[in-house]
A = this chain, B = another copy of it.
Amino acid sequence: MIESVNNEKVKYWAKLSEKKYQDSENLFLVEGEHLVIEAEKAGMLKEVIVLNGYDYDFKNKTFVSENVMKKISTLKNIPKVIGVASKIKDGKLSGSVILLDGVQDPGNLGTIIRSAVAFNLGTLVLGENTVSLYNPKVIRATEGLIFHLNIVTNPLKETINELKRFGYTVYSTDVTGGISLKNISFKDKTAIIMGSEGSGVRKEIKNLCAEFINIEMNNMCESLNVGVATSIILYELNNR
């Protein structure tokens, strides 16, 4: 059992909540039994850190004290188990595509991932200014579904041009104009860009699109939560 928070392994694990170390090590942490099980099912689980006094049926376990668990965990209430998982391999563009331009709230990205799995999305593209996939709050909000989605992290301009070459129709969402979502018949190769919480899709990205979508709503409401708006579009894409 490791009891010292100054232990080199402990310091190493604790750093894996930071983007810099996630990138250099190609690893990230999943906290709590449910997420560790999902990482294992996906074949991404490298090792497991278990709070002393508990046990789990995982391979490659290290037991640690409560203080050490506190040092590693990002949660207020420390979990009984944390997994060290491989970062997810970048996918390839396929099926229906949603592109995120500047979604900053980790809960929103987590919600979008959960809904994307629910509604069989082909590819989720995370643009250059979107919150990191491996932000601990994103991972928690996905409820483990992060391992079940085809995700591409790539600059948007480049990706949009690639999608066009592949024959995709690329729509931008627009709260003030465009065709109502209810009136669109989506084709096989559809890509839709969702904007940030505060300011929507950036102008230079909109300029790359010829088609615009909005979700019709009461004008007392300026916009929907971006997790909600994306989920409604995912629902319609899945039902086309």
Contacts and interface: CB of A to CB of B under 8 A. Distances in A.
Contacts of A235: 215, 232, 235
Contacts of A238: 216-217
A239 B235 CA distance: 14
A114 B232 contact: no
A119 B225 contact: no
A148 B220 contact: yes
A231 interface: yes
Contact of A218 (B117, B143, B228): B117
Contacts of A222: 143
A75 interface: no
Interface in A118-138: 118-120
Nearest to A148: B220
Contact of A239 (B115, B145, B182): B182
A221 B118 contact: yes
Nearest to A181: B235
A107 interface: yes
Contacts of A148: 220-221
Interface in A56-107: 107
A227 interface: yes
A224 interface: yes
Given A231-B232, A232-B232, A235-B232, A224 B182 contact: no
Nearest to A222: B143
A159 to B, nearest CB: 24
Interface string A200-240: 00000000000000011110111011011001100100110
A221 B114 contact: yes
Contacts of A120: 218
A111 interface: yes
Nearest to A143: B222
Nearest to A232: B235
A119 B217 contact: yes
Contact of A224 (B107, B115, B224, B239): B115
Given A107-B107, A182-B239, A239-B182, A115 B228 contact: yes
13 contacts: A114-B221, A114-B225, A115-B225, A117-B221, A118-B215, A118-B218, A119-B217, A148-B220, A216-B239, A224-B231, A225-B227, A228-B228, A231-B231
